[in-house]
């Protein structure tokens, strides 16, 4: 009976009910949008810096990270590959040979990182071939390079031009070569876009005189959240000859930035939920005051206060559930639209983001947790606030209420 009465009551005053539901719908949509953009930005940042370059973890010769020279590289050992492949969380193992060099054209020169890669492995795991914006992708036997777009622009070079590489190879040999630029790469991270050169692994070993040597094995996992745990387990297994480093260890600034952004997001969410709570409470307060005379009449004719309170709570729960579900449904197409067409910044604001090493694009996330978590929180918030009428009804004096 109480459920039936509650359902009829919420539609007895349609305008009041729709206003309350609309406030909850708006709150859910606002929360979903805010969390979607925050999670989208942080996930994109991880993807740009972690998945495309450093990987989720790396294996080096012990001491390499402190002194990243070709003298600290290691010989490619099949036994090492076999040991690492036994871990189910590790989906791919990518060999690399990296070194710092001077990249030059006829009139310009700039320090850069040259990365020797297995083109097929990089294409299947890090999707490097998708970053080629001009020219074509590398083949394993090419004597050519891929150059990041920002570096090519600085050196005034383009596809099919020649780039000069000057550096020091393994055990002090001269590393000098000139290569055709087969393609230009565009990365989401401005920092990566300004100083990366990719070359086939065998050609890089020939350039540096480091035959069959690697500076790192890059590990790609099934879940980025497992990187630290897997790194610790693998380090204990491999012993002191190698060091295993997660992306958090290799990029502590990025890890700290993401943590600070997440803490900042919690603060903003708390403030937003407080504002939402005041808005919903104002609507519930208005509904309660409008019906005070009605409550007085019901209690005067014999209805007990507890069933009356439960009926009002059921009304508010129905409205809260309807508003949260409506906000959930409305936010899905909105967020999906921005997921497909992210907001691209322009002008001075875009320059400011690039100066901080951030991509000037607002990405949105469509992970399910973004939607149902916010809808659930707002619904619980509205449901808790709906218990205010219980206190009002318990203190109700029928005679006084009927005179209003």
- Confidence (pLDDT) at 347: 76
Q: What is the pLDDT of residues 57-68, one digit of tens each?
A: 899 999 898 888
Average pLDDT of the residues in 3-31: 81
Give 258's pLDDT tier (boundaries 50, 70, 90).
Answer: confident
- Confidence (pLDDT) at 201: 94
Helix (H, G, I), strand (E, B) or coil at 87: coil
Q: What is the pLDDT of residues 82-123, one digit of tens each?
A: 888 888 888 888 999 999 999 999 889 999 999 999 998 888
Does the pLDDT of residue 165 top 80, yes or no? yes
CB under 8 Å, gap of 24 or more: what pairs does 287-294 form?
A: 287/16, 287/20, 288/312, 288/388, 288/389, 288/392, 290/16, 292/392, 292/396, 292/401, 292/404, 293/401, 293/402, 293/404
Q: Tell whether pTM > 0.75.
A: no
Give 51's pLDDT tier (boundaries 50, 70, 90).
Answer: low
**Rounded-to-integer distance, Cα 144 and Cα 224, Å:** 32
CA 202 remoteness from chain centre = 34
Q: What percent of the chain has pLDDT over 70?
A: 96
**Rounded-to-integer distance, Cα 138 and Cα 197, Å:** 12
CA 300 remoteness from chain centre = 58
By mean pLDDT, which of 148-152, 263-267, 353-357, 391-395 is the weakest? 353-357
Inter-residue contact 102 to 111 (CB < 8 Å): yes
Q: What mean pLDDT value characterizes the chain?
A: 84
Exposure on the CB side of residue 302, measured as CA atoms within 13 A: 0
Give 404's pLDDT tier (boundaries 50, 70, 90).
Answer: low
Q: What is the pLDDT of residues 170-223, one digit of tens each?
A: 988 889 999 999 999 987 667 778 889 999 999 999 999 999 999 999 988 887
Cα separation of the two ends of the chain: 28
Average pLDDT of the residues in 32-51: 78
Give 303's pLDDT tier (boundaries 50, 70, 90).
Answer: confident
Residues 6+ apart with CB under 8 A from 16: 286, 287, 290
Inter-residue contact 158 to 181 (CB < 8 Å): yes
Inter-residue contact 20 to 284 (CB < 8 Å): yes
Does the pLDDT of residue 237 top 70, yes or no? yes
User: Any bridge partners for residue 135, and if so which?
Assistant: 183
Q: What is the dihedral of CA 139, 141, 147, 148, to 10 degrees?
A: 40
Give 319's pLDDT tier (boundaries 50, 70, 90).
Answer: confident
Helices (H) and strands (E) in the chain, counts: 16, 14
Helix (H, G, I), strand (E, B) or coil at 127: coil
Number of residues that make up the chain: 404
Residues 6+ apart with CB under 8 A from 62: 240, 241, 242, 243
Does the pLDDT of residue 136 top 90, yes or no? yes
- Confidence (pLDDT) at 180: 95
Average pLDDT of the residues in 276-289: 77
3 state SS for 128-183? HHHHEEEECCCCCCCCEEEEEHHHHHHHCCCCCCEEEEEEECHHHCEEEEEEEEEE
User: Any bridge partners for residue 184, and if so which?
Assistant: 134, 147
- Confidence (pLDDT) at 350: 73
**Rounded-to-integer distance, Cα 253 and Cα 12, Å:** 57
User: Any bridge partners for residue 344, and if so which?
Assistant: 361
287 to 52, 276, 398: CA distances (angstroms): 55, 17, 18
Give 48's pLDDT tier (boundaries 50, 70, 90).
Answer: low
Does the pLDDT of residue 45 top 80, yes or no? no
Average pLDDT of the residues in 242-248: 90
- Confidence (pLDDT) at 17: 81
Give 352's pLDDT tier (boundaries 50, 70, 90).
Answer: low
- Confidence (pLDDT) at 24: 81
Cβ density class 263-294: b for 16+ within 10 Å, e for less? eeeeeebeebbeebbebbbebbeebbeebbee
């Amino acid at each position: 009976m109480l459920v039936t009465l509650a359902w009829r009551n919420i539609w007895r005053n349609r305008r009041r009910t729709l206003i309350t539901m609309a406030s909850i719908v708006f709150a859910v949509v606002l929360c979903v949008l805010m969390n979607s953009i925050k999670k989208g930005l942080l996930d994109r940042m991880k993807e740009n810096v972690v998945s495309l370059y450093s990987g989720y973890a790396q294996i080096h010769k012990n001491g390499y990270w402190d002194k990243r020279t070709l003298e600290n590289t290691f010989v490619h050992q099949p036994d090492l590959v076999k040991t690492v492949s036994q871990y189910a969380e590790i989906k791919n193992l990518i060999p690399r040979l990296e070194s710092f060099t001077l990249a030059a054209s006829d009139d310009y020169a700039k320090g850069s990182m040259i990365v020797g890669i297995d083109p097929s492995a990089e294409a299947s795991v890090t999707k490097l071939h998708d970053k080629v914006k001009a020219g074509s992708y590398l083949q394993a036997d090419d004597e050519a390079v891929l150059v990041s777009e920002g570096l090519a622009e600085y050196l005034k070079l383009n596809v099919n031009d020649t780039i000069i590489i000057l550096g020091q190879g393994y055990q002090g040999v001269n590393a000098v070569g000139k290569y055709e630029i087969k393609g230009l790469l565009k990365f989401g991270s401005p920092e990566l876009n300004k100083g990366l050169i990719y070359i086939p692994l065998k050609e890089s070993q020939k350039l540096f005189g480091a035959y069959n040597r690697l500076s790192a094995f890059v590990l790609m996992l099934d879940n980025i959240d497992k990187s630290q745990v897997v790194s610790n387990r693998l380090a204990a297994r491999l012993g002191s000859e190698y060091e295993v480093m997660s992306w958090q260890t290799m990029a502590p600034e990025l890890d700290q930035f993401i943590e600070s952004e997440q803490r900042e997001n919690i603060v903003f969410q708390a403030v937003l939920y407080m504002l939402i709570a005041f808005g919903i409470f104002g609507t519930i307060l208005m509904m309660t005051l409008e019906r005070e005379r009605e409550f007085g009449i019901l209690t005067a004719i014999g209805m007990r206060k507890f069933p009356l309170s439960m009926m009002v709570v059921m009304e508010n729960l129905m409205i809260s559930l309807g508003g949260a579900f409506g906000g959930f449904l409305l936010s899905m197409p909105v967020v999906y639209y921005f997921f497909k067409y992210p907001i691209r910044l322009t002008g001075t604001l875009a320059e400011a983001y690039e100066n901080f090493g951030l991509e000037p694009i607002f990405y949105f996330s469509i992970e399910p947790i973004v939607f149902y978590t916010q809808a659930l929180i707002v619904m619980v918030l509205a449901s808790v606030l709906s218990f205010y009428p219980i206190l009002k009804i318990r203190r109700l004096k029928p005679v006084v209420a009927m005179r209003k």
